[in-house]
Chains A and B, each alone.
Chain A
Amino acid sequence: MTDAALTATAAAQAPIDTPFAVFWRKFRAHKGGVAGLIVFVLIVLAVYLGPLIHRIDPNKIDIRAKNQGPSFAHPFGTDNLGHDMLAQVLAGGQISLAVGITAMLLSLFLGTFVGVLAGYFRRIDGLLMRLTDLFLALPLLPLLLVIIMLFRDTLRAAFGPETGIFILIVFVIGITSWMHTARIVRGDVLAVKNQEFIVAAKSSGMYEHRIILRHILPNVLSSIMVSATLGIASAIITESALSFLGLGFPSDFPTWGRLLFDGVNFLQLTPSRVFWPGLAISLTVLSVNYLGDAVRDALDPRTLSR
């Protein structure tokens, strides 16, 4: 849908430049966005390439070296079992980023899909919105327990323990967090769909799905982007809450959320245990948010290039 929006934006304003060039020019003007992009790329690189440099196995236990402060061997110190915190934070980042982004995409897709349909087609609006109510009311924890009970063993057999639980968690976070996006998108669609250009497009005999893709979506994109950036944050945090309740990844798979949670008791003893995962989560979310801001500005068909 991003591509469609890009095309629409470009076609409307800058027939000479390629759509991407227009987008890039606008994006670059947003200083926070550029900074966000750099930080985010740095985090991704650190998390994926870091383990090649810092070659300690995150699950290696050295009980004699527990609760250490930062040192040359352990730049982030160690935890109460003697895990190297830097290695844990790097390994945790891989999982947390993957979960956060995939779950956000899933929930964004579901939310936009339901929201646009509900806003655009009056006949199914009531039904879809009641479905949204239902999902909002469902207690998350029992739902998780049921899903895990029903699907864990099947997925574990099909994809192995790690990928199986990854799919499960992304699925669970995705299907329990799309409702707000759906509501907001629906509200925006309702506001947009009666505007002249939509009516004009309709009367010119344009197909419904083309109207939605070309005219409705670009106009609700700003809300979607805000939801997306909020979504990554809440997905990472939901994952940590799940780990805490024992429904997340097995305990030997560190994630930022759980590192933070486990470290909270040790706040006074080894502050670095809390500081680094906390900083990693905050920086990631922060950079994604700035990124989202800039993308939103760059995509908005109504902002003139500055």
Chain B
Amino acid sequence: MSGIKSLLTAGVTTIILATGGTAAHAGRGSDGEAKILFWQAVSTMNPYLSGGSKEVYAASMVLEPLAGFDPDGKMFPRLAAGIPSLENGGIAADRTSITWKLKPDLKWSDGTAVTAEDVAFTFAYCTAPGGGCAQKAKFEGVKAVEAVDPLTVKISFSKPMSYPYAPFVGALSPVIQKAQFKDCLGEKAAQCTAANFNPIGTGAFVVKDFKANDVVTFAANPNYRIADKPAFSTIVLKGGGDAAAAARAVLETGEFDFAWNTVVEPEVLDAMLKKGKGTISTAFSTTVERIHLNPFGADPALGQKRSTKDAGPHPALSDPAVRKALSLAIDRDILVEAGYGAGGKATCNVIPAPANLASSGVDWCLKQDIAAANKLLDDAGWKKGSDGVRAKGGVKLSFLFQTSTNSVRQGSQALIKDWWNKIGVTTELRNVPASVYFGGDPASPDTYKKFYADIEMYASGFETTDPANFLADFKCDRIPSPVDGWQGGNVGRICDPAYDALIDKLSDASEPQARSEIIKTLNDLLVNGGYVLPLVNRGEPSAISNTLKDALVNPWDSQLWNVADWSRKK
């Protein structure tokens, strides 16, 4: 047994020795240990094998991309010497290639040089067949990645790209070392446990010890390119527990310095904050909690046809008046107050950020108006029956409303049910475990893509500052159905020819101003049609101890993006 373990840690020991052997630079490692808590534990250090945010964030302490994003969404170089652009010639005039220059004298944590070969290899690693690379979408449209010389790498695309920064920018596609992963291509990727748990990187820290789904211990990288950083000599990243306990460990007991994703009821957080040991910072990106109204029939009696086009239009929800009334009846500010606090903002936009893309044409829904909603339904001919439920032509306004299991979502469900009750709509609530709801098992009736309910709620967003791909998912031909194995991205089953035409226009547009206008119009089409009811722009809250300096949350990149700059407040 101990033999197995020693094999696992063999690679680790060498690094510990290496750390001990290097003379400490001024400032590096002078602040001792910092402790981070992720209540969902980290399962691997290779972001290409696990797409989960927790793994991507943990790996970002070790592995770096060519460039990253700062909290304002602006690109800054990490391994690259500068950001290529059309102006500086880094991007080809026809937009079919981008050329990056690496910083000179970059070293991996094992002391060897970082070269363009490593970048090219990373592309080969992620696109090797059978590897199941989770970040493959980052390399979509990439024809080849070549090392022109040791410090120059050229990425060529198969067609002109309006946004050529997808590969190797941001924590999702960092550069890995060729020497370490060269035997881990394709199907062998999963078997390289030692490398996956302890990747050699260029970041401020190296993995000292990795216990899967439990705790990761990091030590300062002796070969980090900035001599006096990082200030901490070790970082312990612990996993497990729940969000409230994580917040408590930072804000109340002070056992930890940083806890990520502390989504806890606001009043509970407020009570913890009163101890004065830390603060909550929230990174607001594009994630929007939203409701979809099923435009197709979802009655179980429809059998295989339900929630597909063949089921015919939904007897009640296909009426625009009903959709608008349901949206008007919701008080989004109360949803935020009850469930999100400082971690959420009421919104009526599907695209709430970046600021230049956020539309202001849909703000009618921000204010709850029960009277107007009631009037809409009255005018549309939905009359209240003796049980207080509206009906028309034998069709009752009675809906099944599903979402994933999560105490905040169940709270929102209860509130929404109450408001809808006030306009004569009854709701049956259902919650499904997240791993089933967001899973893709085609045999399961409960996935969000199958949408075997009248109404459903979940959150999604896009990860870059460019929502083109995200918006294209609402096209008519992306409606999930048995034909595509329920894979399509158009969960709300929106089918609007005007929308589809605009999406085509968007992919041809490259001028930023024009793009932003089109995006705003698309957003308004979705919301004003009542297809999507945006509710809350959700942030990622983190609890940060008062003794931790310079820990900044970042909605566009890893939450640990500037861990190299962290230090202890003296």
Q: Do chains A and B touch in the complex (CB under 8 A)?
A: yes
- A contacts, CB < 8 Å to B: 59-61, 63, 66-67, 80-81, 83, 145, 149, 153, 156-157, 161, 245-247, 250-252, 262, 265-266, 268-269
Q: Would A247 and B433 be within 8 Å (CB), given that A80-B338, A149-B445 are in contact?
A: yes
| Contact yes or no, B445 A157, CB < 8 A | no
Q: Would A153 and B271 be within 8 Å (CB), given that A245-B405, A247-B433, A251-B413 are in contact?
A: no
| Contact yes or no, A251 B267, CB < 8 A | no
A262 to B407, alpha carbons, bound, how many Å?
8
| Contact yes or no, B414 A251, CB < 8 A | yes
Stretch of B19-27, B134-142, B197-205, B424-432 lying at the A interface: B424-432
User: A81 is contacted by which of B414, B428, B433, B444 (Cβ under 8 Å)?
Assistant: B414
A60 to B421, alpha carbons, bound, how many Å?
11
- B contacts, CB < 8 Å to A: 244, 264-265, 267-268, 271, 300, 334, 337-338, 404-405, 407, 410-411, 413-415, 417-418, 428-434, 436, 443-446
| Contact yes or no, A81 B338, CB < 8 A | yes
| Contact yes or no, B265 A80, CB < 8 A | yes
Q: For B432, what are the chain A residues with a Cβ–Cβ distance below 8 Å?
A: 246
A174 to B526, alpha carbons, bound, how many Å?
47
8 contacts between A and B (CB under 8 A): A59-B418, A67-B267, A80-B267, A149-B444, A149-B445, A247-B433, A265-B265, A268-B271
Q: 6 more A-B contacts (CB under 8 A) besides A149-B446, A246-B432, A251-B429?
A: A80-B267, A149-B443, A250-B428, A265-B264, A266-B267, A269-B271
- Cβ distance A274 to chain B, nearest Cβ, rounded Å: 13
| Contact yes or no, B265 A246, CB < 8 A | no
Q: Would A250 and B414 be within 8 Å (CB), given that A63-B334, A66-B338, A268-B271 are in contact?
A: no
- Cβ distance B519 to chain A, nearest Cβ, rounded Å: 34
| Contact yes or no, A161 B414, CB < 8 A | no
User: B405 is contacted by which of A66, A149, A246, A269 (Cβ under 8 Å)?
Assistant: A246
User: A252 is contacted by which of B264, B265, B417, B445 (Cβ under 8 Å)?
Assistant: B417
What are the 4 tightest A-B residue pairs by CB atom distance, in nearest-first order?
A246-B405, A251-B410, A61-B418, A246-B433
A250 to B444, alpha carbons, bound, how many Å?
19
- Cβ distance B171 to chain A, nearest Cβ, rounded Å: 30
Q: Count the A-B residue pairs with Cβ separation under 8 angstroms: how many? A: 68
Q: For A247, what are the chain B residues with a Cβ–Cβ distance below 8 Å?
A: 433
Q: For A269, what are the chain B residues with a Cβ–Cβ distance below 8 Å?
A: 267-268, 271
A60 to B407, alpha carbons, bound, how many Å?
18
A210 to B414, alpha carbons, bound, how many Å?
54
- Cβ distance B252 to chain A, nearest Cβ, rounded Å: 9
Between B265, B334, B417, the greatest number of chain A beta carbons within 10 A of the residue's beta carbon is seen for B265
| Contact yes or no, A153 B445, CB < 8 A | yes
| Contact yes or no, B433 A265, CB < 8 A | no
- Cβ distance A153 to chain B, nearest Cβ, rounded Å: 5
| Contact yes or no, A250 B338, CB < 8 A | no
Q: For B271, what are the chain A residues with a Cβ–Cβ distance below 8 Å?
A: 268-269
A60 to B334, alpha carbons, bound, how many Å?
15
| Contact yes or no, B265 A250, CB < 8 A | no
Q: Would A61 and B407 be within 8 Å (CB), given that A149-B445, A246-B433, A251-B429 are in contact?
A: no
| Contact yes or no, A153 B300, CB < 8 A | yes
| Contact yes or no, A145 B405, CB < 8 A | no
| Contact yes or no, B431 A250, CB < 8 A | yes
| Contact yes or no, A81 B264, CB < 8 A | no
Q: For B407, what are the chain A residues with a Cβ–Cβ distance below 8 Å?
A: 262
A59 to B334, alpha carbons, bound, how many Å?
17
User: B433 is contacted by which of A153, A245, A266, A268 (Cβ under 8 Å)?
Assistant: A245
A246 to B446, alpha carbons, bound, how many Å?
12
Q: Would A246 and B404 be within 8 Å (CB), given that A149-B445, A251-B413, A266-B268 are in contact?
A: yes
| Contact yes or no, A145 B414, CB < 8 A | no
- Cβ distance A87 to chain B, nearest Cβ, rounded Å: 14
User: B300 is contacted by which of A63, A157, A245, A268 (Cβ under 8 Å)?
Assistant: A157
User: A61 is contacted by which of B264, B414, B436 (Cβ under 8 Å)?
Assistant: B414
- Cβ distance B277 to chain A, nearest Cβ, rounded Å: 15
A153 to B301, alpha carbons, bound, how many Å?
10
Q: For B264, what are the chain A residues with a Cβ–Cβ distance below 8 Å?
A: 265
A59 to B415, alpha carbons, bound, how many Å?
10
A66 to B432, alpha carbons, bound, how many Å?
26
| Contact yes or no, B267 A246, CB < 8 A | no
Q: For A252, what are the chain B residues with a Cβ–Cβ distance below 8 Å?
A: 413-414, 417, 429
Q: For A66, what are the chain B residues with a Cβ–Cβ distance below 8 Å?
A: 267, 338
| Contact yes or no, B244 A251, CB < 8 A | no
Q: For A67, what are the chain B residues with a Cβ–Cβ distance below 8 Å?
A: 267
Q: For A80, what are the chain B residues with a Cβ–Cβ distance below 8 Å?
A: 265, 267, 338, 411
| Contact yes or no, A250 B445, CB < 8 A | no
| Contact yes or no, B415 A61, CB < 8 A | yes
Q: For B417, what are the chain A residues with a Cβ–Cβ distance below 8 Å?
A: 59, 252
- Cβ distance A13 to chain B, nearest Cβ, rounded Å: 54
- Cβ distance A277 to chain B, nearest Cβ, rounded Å: 15
A130 to B413, alpha carbons, bound, how many Å?
44
A245 to B433, alpha carbons, bound, how many Å?
7
| Contact yes or no, A161 B428, CB < 8 A | yes
A250 to B418, alpha carbons, bound, how many Å?
15
Q: Would A246 and B268 be within 8 Å (CB), given that A59-B414, A149-B445, A251-B413 are in contact?
A: no
Q: For B430, what are the chain A residues with a Cβ–Cβ distance below 8 Å?
A: 250
Q: For A161, what are the chain B residues with a Cβ–Cβ distance below 8 Å?
A: 428
Q: For B267, what are the chain A residues with a Cβ–Cβ distance below 8 Å?
A: 66-67, 80, 266, 269
- Cβ distance B437 to chain A, nearest Cβ, rounded Å: 9
Q: For A63, what are the chain B residues with a Cβ–Cβ distance below 8 Å?
A: 334, 337-338, 415
Chain B residue at smallest Cβ distance from A80: B265
A246 to B410, alpha carbons, bound, how many Å?
10
| Contact yes or no, A265 B268, CB < 8 A | yes
A63 to B334, alpha carbons, bound, how many Å?
8
Q: For B445, what are the chain A residues with a Cβ–Cβ distance below 8 Å?
A: 149, 153
Between A66, A80, A268, the greatest number of chain B beta carbons within 10 A of the residue's beta carbon is seen for A80
A78 to B167, alpha carbons, bound, how many Å?
51
Chain B residue at smallest Cβ distance from A264: B244
Chain B residue at smallest Cβ distance from A64: B334
- Cβ distance B406 to chain A, nearest Cβ, rounded Å: 8
- Cβ distance B367 to chain A, nearest Cβ, rounded Å: 16
- Cβ distance B248 to chain A, nearest Cβ, rounded Å: 9
Q: For B436, what are the chain A residues with a Cβ–Cβ distance below 8 Å?
A: 145
- Cβ distance B438 to chain A, nearest Cβ, rounded Å: 12
- Cβ distance A148 to chain B, nearest Cβ, rounded Å: 8
User: A251 is contacted by which of B337, B431, B434 (Cβ under 8 Å)?
Assistant: B431
Chain A residue at smallest Cβ distance from B266: A80
Chain A residue at smallest Cβ distance from B335: A63
- Cβ distance B263 to chain A, nearest Cβ, rounded Å: 11
User: B429 is contacted by which of A153, A250, A268 (Cβ under 8 Å)?
Assistant: A250
A81 to B337, alpha carbons, bound, how many Å?
10
A149 to B441, alpha carbons, bound, how many Å?
12
Q: For B334, what are the chain A residues with a Cβ–Cβ distance below 8 Å?
A: 63
A144 to B390, alpha carbons, bound, how many Å?
36
- Cβ distance A195 to chain B, nearest Cβ, rounded Å: 48
Q: For A59, what are the chain B residues with a Cβ–Cβ distance below 8 Å?
A: 414, 417-418
- Cβ distance A22 to chain B, nearest Cβ, rounded Å: 51
Q: For B446, what are the chain A residues with a Cβ–Cβ distance below 8 Å?
A: 149
A165 to B413, alpha carbons, bound, how many Å?
19
| Contact yes or no, B431 A246, CB < 8 A | yes
- Cβ distance B84 to chain A, nearest Cβ, rounded Å: 47
A153 to B436, alpha carbons, bound, how many Å?
16
| Contact yes or no, B265 A266, CB < 8 A | yes
Q: For A246, what are the chain B residues with a Cβ–Cβ distance below 8 Å?
A: 404-405, 431-434
Chain B residue at smallest Cβ distance from A253: B429
Between B334, B417, B418, B432, the greatest number of chain A beta carbons within 10 A of the residue's beta carbon is seen for B418
